[in-house]
Amino acid sequence: MNDGAETQVKTSRAWAWLGLELVESGDGWATVRMIPTEDMANMSGFVHGGMISTLADTAMGRAIRTAKPGVARAMSFDLKLSFINAAKIGEKLLATGRVIHGGRRTMVAKCEVLGREGRLIATASATFAVTREKGMTLGSDAD
């Protein structure tokens, strides 16, 4: 489901520098696209792991911002990434982040980074410190 978010979402300058694009998003999830350039290659000619890590962190961060009640600020403070396959320069990469826990002060998300034909490139999980929008309320299971 495309909610038109790519024309409404504010992004950082890093998004433009890295060529990141919001593909689609919904309540608690987001998909971000990146097409790696030669400048993103490691010494072996594949996409540098740091670029894949940034893509996954970005997708999870965007997913966090779609959660209800609203999140005013989110910063990852823990990130785990598992590389499964090497990504190639020029290959369209799609990272889909999903919220798996939404507390008052922290949230947890997971992500899959996919390459051409759905080939799994990496999986990730992260914990985010969040500031909720004013007036939010949560049930008794909030952290």
Confirm or reject CATH 3.10.129.10 for domain 12-132, answering yes or no. yes
Q: What angle do CA 22, 133, 61 make, to 5 degrees?
A: 30
Please report which confidence band the pLDDT of residue 9 belongs to, taking 50, 70 and 90 as the band edges. Answer: low
pTM: 0.86
What tens digit of pLDDT does each residue of 52-62 get? Answer: 999 999 999 99
User: Is pLDDT above 90 for 23?
Assistant: yes
What tens digit of pLDDT does each residue of 110-139 get? Answer: 999 999 999 999 999 999 999 988 754 444
Residues 99 and 36: beta-carbon distance below 8 Å: no
